[in-house]
Amino acid sequence: MESCQFQQIKNFMSSTTIFYILNAVIIFNFLLSRILEYLNQSYSKSELPSELSSFYDAEKYKKSQQYHKESDRLGMWAEVISFIVMISFLWLNGFAWLNNILEPHFTNKIILALIYFGVLSIGSSIISLPFGIYSTYVIEEKYGFNKTTVRTYIMDKIKGILLSIVLGGGLGYLFLWLIISIGPNFWIYAWGLGILITLFLQMFYTSLIVPIFNKLSPLPAGELRDKIETYARSVNFPLTNVMIINGSKRSTKANAYFTGFGKGKKIVLYDTLIEKHSNEELVSILAHEVGHYKKKHIILSMILSWLQMGFMVWLLSRFIFSDTLSAALGVNHLAIHINLIVFSILFEPISLITGILMNILSRKNEYEADEFAVKTSDKPAFVKALINLSVDNLSNLKPHPSYVFFHYSHPTLLQRIGAIEKVEL
């Protein structure tokens, strides 16, 4: 019954209908992005708002506004170029044209698909490269953030390409093999594979992938480590690894994150974070990360991501073998790689909805982790750390509520401080 219903849907949708739906999705996403950016830019005031006067002085606020203005302008041009290229590629049958060039040379469908995606990836990288260079060496440099040498930038690109070929190519081959070899029930095995991969990355990403790009070292013995270990014991947190990452190799911006399970748990502090914050502030930041662990946020988020993944590959299995999808991009026979492109575009409205829901959950989790931090560490130090992080990174402290709703995984600084003030110790 289920397969019959999907067959009726596929029969109802002609290739022409799907083609116009693809255009509608792309245009909608572009317009939504532009509207949100416009609202966000219009919402910011040229003069320092009174509620921000305790964080920013007038000169620093002006610098922040100018930084976001220049970054947003660059982002707008990158989106416009990407939109024009995508729409042009659709209307000029670019996807079919590339397929017709490659197909005669590769009899193996999996290899054909990997080469096809590789060419598209190279094209996309070429288009985005000037924007990345300008962002790093003009905007980030102008506002004192950039520390990336040309050699580091080039090596990052080379390492990223090699990693994509080895890991991305290997996993892509396995995924395509499951589709072609198993048929419609491939989604069960693909889902299981996806779960294993996310578990592996959660446990070993920091140990295996991060060192390819950055140097990791244990936090040395001293006052800071003593304070961290004392705090960990006070909240019964089995702390085994506190690592420092040389984020200053690329930027002056600071961050911290939690990764791993069981004995493999790690808390990673950027060296720029340690340079700019007192020991009390650093302990409170760590307390926030411990809060995510204690509140089971990491496990919950992972389970929800698995459910999303399962739904996506199940839905993909309903449509991946439809030659109508291939025809929508001008290919007159079933081509799995073409169908993957069509599906990825058609799935974007669902991704938008799930992304909004995940952001809502994430913002709730941040409030809970903040509450845990202020209850178990130094409340004033934590508030000061949040303010310094936002101000030092020239964050937009007053974004438009609609922009926050769609894009922010964290509450704004003002929202977080307002919630912290209500916490009873």
Q: Write out the catalytic residue numbers.
A: 289, 370
The rounded distance, in Å, linking the Cα atoms of 21 and 249 is 44
**CA dihedral for 185, 191, 194, 200, sign (positive or negative):** negative
Q: Please enumerate in sequence order all residues whose Cβ is within 8 A of that of 26, keeping only pairs 6 or more positions apart, or say none.
A: 83, 86, 87, 90, 345
CB burial of residue 237 (10 Å; 0-12, 13-18, 19+): buried
Q: What is the DSSP string of 222-250?
A: SHHHHHHHHHHHHTT-----EEEE-GGGT
Assigned token pair, 85? 């290229």
How are strands ordered across the β-sheet holding 216-218?
216-218, 242-245, 266-270, 256-259
For the beta carbon of residue 386, count every other beta carbon within 10 angstroms: 21
Q: What is the DSSP string of 274-332?
A: HHHS-HHHHHHHHHHHHHHHHTTHHHHHHHHHHHHHHHHHHHHHHHTT-HHHHHHTT-S
Judge contact between 381 and 278, C-beta under 8 A: yes
**CA dihedral for 317, 18, 109, 4, sign (positive or negative):** positive
Q: Please enumerate in sequence order all residues whose Cβ is within 8 A of that of 105, keeping only pairs 6 or more positions apart, or say none.
A: none
Instruction: Tell me phi and psi for residue 190, to 5 degrees.
Output: -65, -40
